[in-house]
Amino acid sequence: MNFASLFCVRTFKKHEKHFPSDKHASVSYFFYLFWFWVWHPLLPLLTTQALCRTSALQSKTLKLNLHVLFVNGKFCKDPKYVTANDFFFSGLDKPGNTSNRVGSNVTQLNVDKIPGLNTLGISLARIDYAPYGLNPPHTHPRGTEILVVVEGTVEVGFVTSNQQDGSNKLFTKILNKGDVFVFPIGLIHFQFNRGHTNAVAFAAGLSSQNAGVITIANAVFDSDPRINPDVLTKAFQVDKNVIDYLQKQFWVDNNN
């Protein structure tokens, strides 16, 4: 029995003998039953929601580069020392370096680069693609992404979480200049430049001050230390030499 139910029972027993034998007794009795059966089971949910809510409930607080203690992810800067530069970044017009094996570059603008984003629950990124460049399958564990293409033709898609029938549905679209697509929080997604020329897109909104990135291939085949090849052989249903080959590759991190 949790605290709420214990409180309810004790309070009811304490006042039970004082209930008059008229309609007020029925009202009081109904109130206690309503509290016991309806409200107190909801208290843990409401408390958890309040504690875990990701929306910005605090006033603007700026991140400091201290590595001892974390408050709401980052320390808050004394408002007396806040300047306009804490909310500013210059250079997003410059293309990222796509000279890597996947042919893409993600320039992230999160709370680490713009301290004023601390507690605001939003960030963004610029993504540059070489011809046939790929932003490999990845997830953002802490944020939904909305992508807008400003140059080129980009194939995008995300895969649903496991369904009851064991399937995973792919939602995919070909985007051209001015087109927008949304990737729900936590789901595996990708972008692929289908054109002969460079492409540019902006993750115009990520619903977190730092949405995080997990690049699937890097996490699975390039972990430190390596995952037991027997585990991956069984998981991917392939020969062990395939896993050995994949674990020996150089896996590119295209995020900056």
Between β-strands 145-151 and 180-183, what pairing exists: parallel, antiparallel or unpaired? antiparallel
| Residue 230 shares a structural domain with residue 104 | yes
The tokens describing 69, both together, are 């203690």
> Tokens 């150089």 correspond to what residue?
250
Binding residues: 135, 138, 140, 145, 189
| Within a domain: 76 | no
Name the pTM for this structure: 0.73
Same domain, 107 and 232: yes
* Whether residue 47 is found in the same domain as residue 92: no
Q: Which two tokens stand for residue 182?
A: 């949304």
104 and 150 in a single domain? The answer is: yes
Looking up residue 228, the CATH number of its domain turns out to be: 2.60.120.10
User: Both 86 and 193 in a single domain?
Assistant: yes
| Residues making up the binding site for Mn(2+) | 138, 140, 145, 189
Specify the pLDDT at position 75: 78
Q: Judge if 26 and 121 occupy the same domain.
A: no
Per-residue pLDDT of the chain (256 residues; tens, 9 = 90+): 444 444 344 444 444 455 455 555 555 655 555 555 655 555 555 444 444 444 443 555 666 665 555 555 677 888 899 999 999 999 999 999 999 999 999 999 999 999 999 999 999 999 999 999 999 999 999 999 999 999 999 999 999 999 999 899 999 999 999 999 999 999 999 999 999 999 999 999 999 999 999 999 999 999 999 999 999 999 999 999 999 999 999 999 999 9
Residues 43 and 138 in one domain: no
pLDDT for the residue 31: 53
Domain boundary among 36, 52, 68: 52
Residue 154 lies in a domain: yes
Q: Which domain holds residue 43?
A: 3-52
Annotated binding-site members for oxalate: 135, 140, 145
In a domain, residue 223? The reply is yes
Q: Which two tokens stand for residue 136?
A: 């490999």
Q: List the beta strands (DSSP E) in the chain.
A: 104-109, 123-129, 134-139, 145-151, 154-159, 170-175, 180-183, 189-193, 199-206, 214-215
Number of domains in the chain: 2
Instruction: Give the pLDDT confidence score for residue 189 in this predicted structure.
Output: 99
